[in-house]
């Protein structure tokens, strides 16, 4: 057939791109497929074991579970860390006392939050430099570090810093959370000896925010349950967000963390004002306050306590996130809140 136009029939066809390389270049490489498969498997297995951690980890078991924890014995209703505060908190149905300890010059384990006596007693000295018998009484009113109420006043004449021995003796069956405020081998040893003397290794939680102190506690007596140091809490958070947490063992038994958003509440005296700091706190709050993380820890037998919460909105948020317990300066407020919301009481909320 003759083409009268003089053009080739093939020139009338549209241009169709033809791959210059092999067809394999049109598809993911073999190596890429392997990486994709590994990544998919890792994500799937991480999600699975996040939901079912007891398939690879033995669930921790404790002698108690607490919903109501009184911070410093209830520092918003009585002078903090006094026997009066502890008794009042117990009368309000608290399930755990949280307190702090220091070592006096003569080697006594003293219940007090501050090592320096300025805020609590109006003196410039330190507990570590003073014999127990010479420690001054606390002031008649003290600032409440995390409360909407700025000060708490003494309800009676009790303004004395007690010994840890006294607290253990008066509350033999009540769980107590002991925060060791000094990086001291002697304090760690003597606290452990007191815990053993009163046969309450199963009813005591101890540790400190500093990892060095926490490690000393673990070495001194691994039979006493521990709460996470700041470093260990941050490591746990990192492992959670990278998907590694379900596969790794956890030594501690109590995950006690701050709710960062309390520092954003402008109605409180301790609210953070600087914009950049508020942004950082907001980010940390979004990263830390995760129900999936809390549920995973609880499934592994780790109790989750959130502190220091002093209003009902924060109580609700903590319990809705799944927290085992709330630590508060106002034990009466939390008791009344829980009476009206029995759903949050253990064991229903486990």
Per-position pLDDT tens, the chain of length 350 = 444 444 454 444 455 454 554 444 545 578 889 899 999 999 999 999 999 999 999 999 999 999 999 999 999 999 999 999 999 999 999 999 999 999 999 999 999 999 999 999 999 999 999 999 999 999 999 988 886 666 788 888 899 999 999 999 999 999 999 999 999 999 999 999 999 999 999 999 999 999 999 999 999 999 999 999 999 999 999 999 999 999 999 999 999 999 999 999 888 878 898 999 999 999 999 999 999 999 999 999 999 999 999 999 999 999 999 999 999 999 999 999 999 998 888 664 55
List the Cα angle 280/281/287 in 5-degree steps.
90
Instruction: State residue 15's pLDDT score.
Output: 55
8 Å CB contact between 182 and 208: no
Residue 239, domain member (yes or no): yes
Q: Which residue segment(s) compose the domain that 307 sits in?
A: 59-344
Residue 208, domain member (yes or no): yes
**Separation of alpha carbons 23 and 75, rounded Å:** 73
Instruction: State residue 9's pLDDT score.
Output: 46
Residue 1, domain member (yes or no): no
Instruction: State residue 30's pLDDT score.
Output: 82
CATH number of the structural domain spanning residue 157: 3.20.20.190
Residue 339 has φ and ψ, to the nearest 5°, of: -60, -35
The pairing of strands 151-153 and 176-180 is unpaired
**Separation of alpha carbons 67 and 346, rounded Å:** 7
Residue 271, domain member (yes or no): yes
Query: How many domains does the chain fold into?
Result: 1
Residue 25, domain member (yes or no): no
Instruction: State residue 4's pLDDT score.
Output: 42
Tokens found for residue 1: 């057939």
Interhelix angle 291-299/230-242, nearest 10 degrees: 110
3-class SS at 69? strand
Residue 325, domain member (yes or no): yes
Q: How far is CA 122 from the centre of its chain?
A: 31
Residue 41, domain member (yes or no): no
DSSP state of 286: H
8 Å CB contact between 255 and 233: yes
DSSP state of 300: T
Q: How far is CA 76 from the centre of its chain?
A: 21
Alpha helices in 19-146 (DSSP H): 30-51, 83-91, 118-121
**Separation of alpha carbons 73 and 80, rounded Å:** 6
The pairing of strands 254-258 and 141-143 is unpaired
DSSP state of 122: S
Residue recorded with tokens 């925060």: 179
Instruction: State residue 150's pLDDT score.
Output: 67
Instruction: State residue 348's pLDDT score.
Output: 44
Q: Which residues pair with 103 in a beta bridge?
A: 109
8 Å CB contact between 126 and 115: yes
8 Å CB contact between 60 and 302: yes
Q: What is the 3-state secondary structure (H, E, C) of 8-50?
A: CHHHHCCCCCCCCCCHHHHCCCHHHHHHHHHHHHHHHHHHHHH
Instruction: State residue 1's pLDDT score.
Output: 43
**Separation of alpha carbons 43 and 61, rounded Å:** 29
Residue 272, domain member (yes or no): yes
3-class SS at 146? coil
Residue recorded with tokens 């409180």: 268
């Amino acid at each position: 057939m003759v083409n009268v136009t003089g053009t080739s029939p093939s020139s009338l066809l549209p241009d169709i791109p033809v791959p210059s390389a092999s067809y394999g270049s049109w598809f993911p490489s073999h190596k890429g497929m392997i990486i994709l498969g590994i990544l998919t498997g890792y994500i799937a297995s991480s999600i699975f074991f996040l939901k079912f951690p007891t398939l690879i980890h033995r669930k921790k078991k404790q002698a108690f579970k607490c919903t109501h924890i009184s911070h410093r014995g209830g520092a918003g209703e009585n002078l903090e860390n006094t026997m009066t505060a502890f008794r009042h908190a117990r009368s309000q149905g608290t399930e755990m006392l949280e307190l702090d300890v220091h070592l006096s010059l003569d080697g006594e384990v003293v219940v007090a939050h501050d090592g320096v006596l300025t805020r609590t007693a109006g003196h410039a000295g330190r507990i570590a430099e003073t014999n127990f018998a010479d420690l001054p009484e606390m002031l008649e009113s003290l600032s409440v570090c995390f409360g909407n109420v700025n000060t708490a006043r003494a309800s009676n004449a009790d303004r004395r810093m007690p010994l840890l021995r006294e607290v253990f003796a008066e509350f033999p069956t009540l769980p107590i959370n002991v925060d060791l405020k000094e990086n001291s081998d002697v304090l760690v040893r003597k606290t452990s000896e007191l815990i053993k003397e009163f046969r309450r290794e199963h009813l005591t939680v101890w540790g400190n925010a500093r990892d060095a102190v926490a490690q000393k506690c673990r070495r001194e007596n691994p039979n006493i349950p521990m709460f996470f140091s700041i470093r260990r809490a941050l490591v746990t958070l990192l492992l959670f967000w990278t998907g590694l947490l379900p596969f790794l063992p956890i030594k501690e038994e109590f995950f006690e963390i701050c709710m960062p958003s309390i520092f954003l509440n402008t109605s409180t005296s301790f609210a953070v004002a600087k914009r950049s700091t508020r942004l950082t706190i907001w980010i940390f709050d979004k990263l830390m306050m995760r129900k999936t993380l809390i549920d995973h820890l609880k499934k592994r037998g780790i109790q989750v306590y959130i502190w220091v919460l002093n209003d009902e909105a924060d109580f609700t948020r903590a319990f809705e996130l799944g927290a085992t317990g709330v630590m508060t300066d106002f034990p009466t407020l939390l008791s009344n809140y829980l009476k009206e919301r029995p759903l949050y009481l253990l064991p229903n909320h486990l």
